[in-house]
Amino acid sequence: MPVFPIRSSARRALGAALLGLAAVAASAQDMSGGTDIARRAIHVCAACHGEGGRSASAAYPSLAGQPAQYTARQLKDFRAQQRAEADNKAYMWGVSALLDDDTIQALAEYYAVQAPAPGRARGPDRLLKEGRRLFEDGVPGSGIRACAGCHGERAEGAAGFPRLAGQHADYLERQLKGFSTRLRPHGVLMRAETAGMTAQQMRAVAAYLQSL
């Protein structure tokens, strides 16, 4: 796994988050299950992912409305150091290391029922139209299948497939590019799906998804 530098601001945030979650875990040692711990951990998550999981920054994904199964899987992958991000790998590895299975499940269920923020159109109409075509139809003959086939007609996500609707375009574009690297070793399916996509196509579909 490649090693990436950690920004000083991210290092400070990681320290604060770890202290916060450590305090949560320590104060909850006599509690059963992960619900009470998760209730407090949500405040730590909100520092990056926003209140109710509605992120205001493209540096962090929105979690509101994500299928619980998907969110839980990602947190467990971070905890096992089987998923990384180019600019905040240590942050998510450190935070998730303090979460047990019950807490992860409680967090995932909490975010699954939160109302997502409305979509925000960005970019010229031609870019959004290209993105919609890619999402709905793919590119027959080029190995690019319609995204809607797995992520839902309105990109609402289901089970193990994430909600993409309303997600930050810049974040989505980074993820699409990341599947060709070792940052997402479990993303075998998406690695194949994105192999035939150009940078322009990734930008287009990401812009369209943000608008939903």
CATH of the domain at 138: 1.10.760.10
Q: Which residue has the tokens 């096992």?
A: 80
Q: Per DSSP, what are the bridge partners of residue 161?
A: 158
Query: Does residue 87 come out as left (phi exceeding 0), alpha (psi in the -120 to 50 range) or beta?
Result: alpha
90, 66: one domain: yes
Residue 91 has what pLDDT?
84
190 is in an annotated binding site: yes
Residue 15 has what pLDDT?
47
Q: What's the CA gap between 81 and 94, in Å, rounded?
A: 10
Q: What is the CB neighbour count within 10 angstroms for residue 74?
A: 21
In a domain, 105, yes or no: yes
In a domain, 207, yes or no: yes
94, 148: one domain: no
Residue 33 has what pLDDT?
46
- Candidates 104, 70, 93, 98; CA nearest to 183 is 93
140, 99: one domain: no
In a domain, 164, yes or no: yes
- Both tokens assigned to 46: 């909100």
88, 18: one domain: yes
64, 96: one domain: yes
Q: Which domain holds residue 14?
A: 8-112
Q: What is the CB neighbour count within 10 angstroms for residue 149?
A: 13
Give the pTM.
0.83
Residue 211 has what pLDDT?
97
48 is in an annotated binding site: yes
In a domain, 140, yes or no: yes
- Tell me which amino acid residue 149 is: G
- Candidates 112, 207, 200; CA nearest to 163 is 112
24, 70: one domain: yes
49 is in an annotated binding site: yes
- End of a domain among 112, 133, 152? 112
195, 106: one domain: no
Helix runs in the chain, H state only: 8-27, 35-49, 68-79, 89-96, 101-112, 125-137, 148-151, 169-178, 188-194, 199-211
Q: What's the CA gap between 160 and 179, in Å, rounded?
A: 17
166, 200: one domain: yes
Residue 62 has what pLDDT?
97
- Both tokens assigned to 211: 């608008």
- End of a domain among 69, 86, 112? 112
In a domain, 120, yes or no: no
144, 49: one domain: no
In a domain, 1, yes or no: no
Relative orientation angle of helices 101-112 and 68-79, to the nearest 10 degrees: 140
202 is in an annotated binding site: no
In a domain, 118, yes or no: no
Per-residue pLDDT of the chain (212 residues), as tens digits, is 333 333 444 445 544 554 455 444 444 333 344 566 677 788 889 999 999 999 999 999 999 999 999 999 999 999 999 888 766 667 889 889 989 999 999 999 999 999 999 999 988 999 999 999 999 999 988 889 999 999 999 999 998 999 999 999 999 999 999 998 888 877 888 998 899 999 999 999 999 999 99
Q: Which H or E element spans position 55? A: none
101, 172: one domain: no
92 is in an annotated binding site: yes
- End of a domain among 85, 112, 139? 112
Q: What's the CA gap between 42 and 95, in Å, rounded?
A: 12
Please tell me the total count of domains within the chain.
2
